[in-house]
Structure formats: structure tokens, C-alpha cells
């Protein structure tokens, strides 16, 4: 405990770190306050927030920290920007023009960022229109502006507000990255997810103490299980396979360069949470199709794939995650580029020829470590369904795995890594007694 207080004192003593943490706190507070500001023309007391608890809307609501269900000006949150970033990332793999921009250094990154912003605006306009239409269908009584302005003006003004608000949230994220502790977009997503934890925790606690809930002992067992799942998730996020790389010696004048051994950290879960997001999007399709199928047997078959507690749902969900993990790893880890970069810097893997042989070796290693990583990821993803089967509140069960837990663990580790780097830079003790904290960007490179 004394070491913890000493570390907190050291954090406060560092002016630069203290300023970054304060900026991050105030910008995140602005985001949280904005998530409670309802769109003009809507009565928040008449909103049915349960409409946004499940399905695709439930995921959006989770990422937006409940703002989607509250019809807030930040209802779409940062999701349009994430969608635009994924599209640009895929275009960078498919189009030579985007590949050239990536190789142009800072200039190219600036162009790609600008394209991402424009695409974010376009996606936000489409999603905001869909949000307003859904709001009219699910909560018609909550729209109180019908007597003041026309339906067109309400829709048009709401679309402008939602689009401007999403761009403002994106700006907040960029300011946190530039002026704050870093990882601004990830922190905004994390703060939205973690804001739902206290309510879910309190609801589960009350339920367990009620008649038929199981009692306090069962609640303690649930907390112990949650702790174990978090530890497993940390292993998944941090797990890496280090490939040794030897750099040839070069003598320039009287100085020697190279001649040292370093490592390439290949992550077991290089795809992150993207396979879960893609798989969840596909798992909504059978449920929607079932609504239009009149045949009883076909409807029952399709509905089984829409039930998160069914064997068919979890088996299909797990297989899709494994497939998407391989797919996303293949497009995000470019073995040929890694091999070319090593060759340019006179680096080689001991016992492996530079060039194509090195690329094949890295590709084979990635294929071998991706399988256990994909199975592990699928296991973590279906854990909320198992938690729900054990009579755990659906909101609290979401923290037993899936996208929310992976994001929370990854962002917390990244933030702690940022803080630790500031402490070690000024020769203070780090956050750990031994070793260093490793974030999602990879393990520490050892010489």
C-alpha cells in the first residue's frame, strides 16, 4: 500500500504527466456530460431506453456509453469514425494509391487522416438518418416537436446536430491523444463502457440479495470468476511470440553500428476485437430473416441462431470469430513488408535467408500462433452467454468477456504503460515491482 501511495505522489510530482492527466480528465468529463444532453424536440422522460439493450443497437449503445438509448446529441458516439477507419484500412490494402500514401511518411498520414474525416462525415450522415427513423418507429411519443416544426425540419436539424456532435467527439479524442495521456479514441470508448459497470454491478448485487437470487456467497463467487476472466483476457492481450533478429555490423568512421540482437514481437491476438465485431454483425442476420419467414420449422431453425444462449448460436459465433481472426490477421500483419524492412536495415533471422524465405517463416509462425489465439478469443467472446445461462444479469454478464472486456483490458494496459514510461523516464520506480507493463502495441523490444 505504501508503494502505491509513493507512486501516486511521484505521478503528481511530474508536471508534464500531471498536466496530461488533468487534460484527459476534463475532456472525458465533457464527453460524459454531453452524452446526457438530449436532442432538441425529444422528451427524455418518454424514451423507452430498453429498446437499445439488445442486438446491434445494444452494441452501439455500449460503445456510446448509453447515449444511443438516451437519444443524446452524442448518440452515435465515435462509431462512425471507427467504421471509416476500418474502410480506409481495407482500402490501404487493396488500392495502390493508398499504399503509396502510407509510404509517404507524415505527409501521407495527414492525407489518409483527412480522407478518414471526410468519410466519417458521410457515414455519420447516413447513420444519423437511420437513427432518427428508428427513433420515430420505436419512440414516437417521445418526439414532442411535431407541434412546433415540421417532420422534415426535425429530421434535418437532428442529422446536423448528430453529425456535428460526432465530429466534436472525434476532435475530443484527437486532443486527448495530442495533449492528454494518449489513445484518445480508445479512452472515449472505454469510458463509455466502464460507465455502465457501476449500475450493472449494483443491479446484480440487489438481485443476488433478493429472494431466489442466490445470496451473498453466490455474488462473491461471481466476482471471483470475473477476476479470473480478466486475468485470462490480460494473457490474451499481452501474449506474444518473439522472433530473434540479428543486425549486421557496420563501421562508419570510428563508430560501429548494428551487431545486436533484437526481437520482433508477433502478437497471439493481432486482430484485437475486430473479429468479434464482424462476427456479431453477421449473427444478427438470421434473426432479421426469421421475421419474414412464415414456415414454422424454418423460423424456429433461424431463431435458434439468434438466441445467445443456444448451442447453435455460440458454436456458429465461435467459428466465425476463428475465421475472421485469420482473415483480419492476414490483412493487418504483412509478412512481406516486415521482411523488406528487415532487409533494408541489414537485419536477418538467424538460420533464415533474407527475402522470401524470411517472409514465409514469419507467415508460418503467425499461422501457428493465430490458431490458439483465435480459439482463446472465441472462448472469451462466448463467455457472456455462459454467464447469462448461470442466472447473471445480462448487463453485468457483458463484462465477463466479449468486446467490452477486451477493450477495457487493452486500453487500461496502454494507459498504464504511458504513465509508467513517464515515471521511468524521470528515474522514478514504475508501477510494477519487476518488469514492465506491456500494452496492446506489442511487448518491449529486448536487445
Q: Are residues 341 and 211 in the same domain?
A: yes
Residue predicted with more confidence, 280 or 207: 207
Grid coordinates representing 26 are: 476534463
Residue 32 reports pLDDT greater than 80? yes
Evaluate whether residue 331 is within a structural domain: yes
Q: What is the pLDDT of residue 47?
A: 77
Indicate which CATH number applies to the domain containing 280. 1.10.3370.10
Q: Are residues 164 and 225 in the same domain?
A: no
- pTM beyond 0.85: no
Q: Are residues 143 and 56 in the same domain?
A: yes
Q: Are residues 222 and 170 in the same domain?
A: no
pLDDT, one tens digit per residue, over 229-275 is 888 888 888 888 888 888 776 555 556 555 566 788 888 888 877 78
Grid coordinates representing 92 are: 490501404
Grid coordinates representing 124 are: 455519420
Q: What is the pLDDT of residue 29?
A: 92
Evaluate whether residue 2 is within a structural domain: no
What integer is the mean pLDDT of 175-187? 85
Q: Are residues 137 and 216 in the same domain?
A: no
Q: Are residues 66 and 160 in the same domain?
A: yes
Cα separation, 376 vs 202, whole angstroms: 29
Q: Using 50, 70 and 90 to split pLDDT, how confident is the model at 338? A: confident
Evaluate whether residue 81 is within a structural domain: yes
Which residue segment(s) compose the domain that 24 sits in? 14-195
Last residue of a domain, one of 147, 162, 195: 195
Q: Are residues 291 and 228 in the same domain?
A: yes
Q: Are residues 223 and 343 in the same domain?
A: yes
Q: Are residues 362 and 240 in the same domain?
A: yes
Q: Are residues 220 and 353 in the same domain?
A: yes
- Cα 429 to its chain centre, rounded Å, is 30
Q: What is the pLDDT of residue 442?
A: 44
Cα separation, 167 vs 186, whole angstroms: 15
Last residue of a domain, one of 171, 195, 219: 195
What integer best gives the mean pLDDT of the chain? 80
Last residue of a domain, one of 150, 166, 195: 195
What integer is the mean pLDDT of 27-44? 89
Residue 402 reports pLDDT greater than 80? no
Q: Total domain count for the chain? A: 2
Evaluate whether residue 100 is within a structural domain: yes
Evaluate whether residue 7 is within a structural domain: no
Q: Are residues 355 and 442 in the same domain?
A: yes
Cα separation, 275 vs 380, whole angstroms: 12
Asked if residues 143 and 132 have their Cβ atoms less than 8 Å apart, the reply is no
Q: Are residues 18 and 55 in the same domain?
A: yes
Amino acid at each position: 500500500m505504501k508503494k502505491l501511495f509513493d507512486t501516486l505522489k511521484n505521478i503528481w510530482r511530474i508536471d508534464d504527466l500531471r498536466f496530461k492527466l488533468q487534460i484527459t480528465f476534463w475532456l472525458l468529463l465533457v464527453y460524459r456530460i454531453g452524452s446526457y444532453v438530449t436532442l432538441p424536440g425529444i422528451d427524455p422522460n418518454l424514451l423507452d431506453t430498453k429498446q437499445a439493450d439488445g442486438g446491434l443497437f445494444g452494441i452501439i449503445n455500449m460503445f456510446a456509453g448509453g447515449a444511443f438509448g438516451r437519444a443524446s446529441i452524442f448518440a452515435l458516439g465515435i462509431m462512425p469514425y471507427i467504421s471509416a477507419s476500418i474502410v480506409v484500412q481495407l482500402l490501404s490494402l487493396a488500392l495502390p494509391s493508398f499504399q503509396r500514401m502510407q509510404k509517404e511518411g507524415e505527409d501521407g498520414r495527414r492525407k489518409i487522416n483527412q480522407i478518414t474525416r471526410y468519410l466519417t462525415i458521410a457515414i455519420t450522415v447516413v447513420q444519423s438518418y437511420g437513427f432518427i427513423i428508428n427513433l420515430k418507429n420505436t419512440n414516437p411519443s417521445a418526439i414532442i416537436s411535431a407541434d412546433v416544426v415540421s417532420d422534415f425540419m426535425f429530421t434535418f436539424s437532428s442529422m446536423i446536430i448528430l453529425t456535428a456532435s460526432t465530429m466534436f467527439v472525434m476532435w475530443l479524442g484527437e486532443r486527448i491523444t495530442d495533449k492528454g495521456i494518449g489513445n484518445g479514441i480508445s479512452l472515449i470508448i472505454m469510458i463509455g463502457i466502464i460507465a455502465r459497470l457501476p449500475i450493472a454491478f449494483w443491479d446484480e448485487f440487489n438481485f443476488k440479495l433478493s429472494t431466489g437470487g442466490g445470496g451473498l456467497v453466490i455474488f462473491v463467487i461471481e466476482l471471483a470468476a470475473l477476476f479470473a476472466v480478466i486475468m485470462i483476457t490480460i494473457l490474451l492481450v499481452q501474449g506474444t511470440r518473439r522472433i530473434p533478429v540479428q543486425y549486421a555490423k557496420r563501421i562508419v568512421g570510428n563508430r560501429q553500428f548494428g551487431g545486436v540482437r533484437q526481437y520482433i514481437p508477433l502478437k497471439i491476438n493481432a486482430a484485437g476485437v475486430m473479429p468479434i465485431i464482424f462476427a456479431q454483425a453477421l449473427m444478427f442476420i438470421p434473426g432479421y430473416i426469421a421475421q419474414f419467414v412464415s414456415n414454422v420449422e424454418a423460423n424456429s431453425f433461424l431463431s435458434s441462431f439468434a438466441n445467445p444462449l443456444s448451442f447453435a448460436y455460440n458454436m456458429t459465433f465461435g467459428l466465425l470469430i476463428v475465421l475472421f481472426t485469420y482473415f483480419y490477421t492476414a490483412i493487418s500483419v504483412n509478412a512481406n513488408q516486415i521482411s523488406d524492412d528487415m532487409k533494408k536495415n541489414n537485419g536477418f533471422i538467424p538460420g533464415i535467408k533474407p527475402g522470401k524465405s524470411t517472409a514465409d517463416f514469419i507467415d508460418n509462425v503467425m499461422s501457428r500462433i493465430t490458431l490458439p489465439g483465435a480459439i482463446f478469443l472465441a472462448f472469451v467472446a462466448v463467455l457472456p452467454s455462459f454467464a447469462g445461462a448461470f442466472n447473471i444479469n445480462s448487463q453485468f454478464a457483458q463484462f465477463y468477456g466479449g468486446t467490452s472486456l477486451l477493450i477495457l483490458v487493452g486500453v487500461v494496459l496502454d494507459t498504464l504503460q504511458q504513465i509508467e514510461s513517464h515515471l521511468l523516464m524521470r528515474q522514478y520506480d514504475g508501477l510494477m515491482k519487476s518488469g514492465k507493463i506491456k500494452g496492446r502495441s506489442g511487448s518491449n523490444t529486448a536487445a
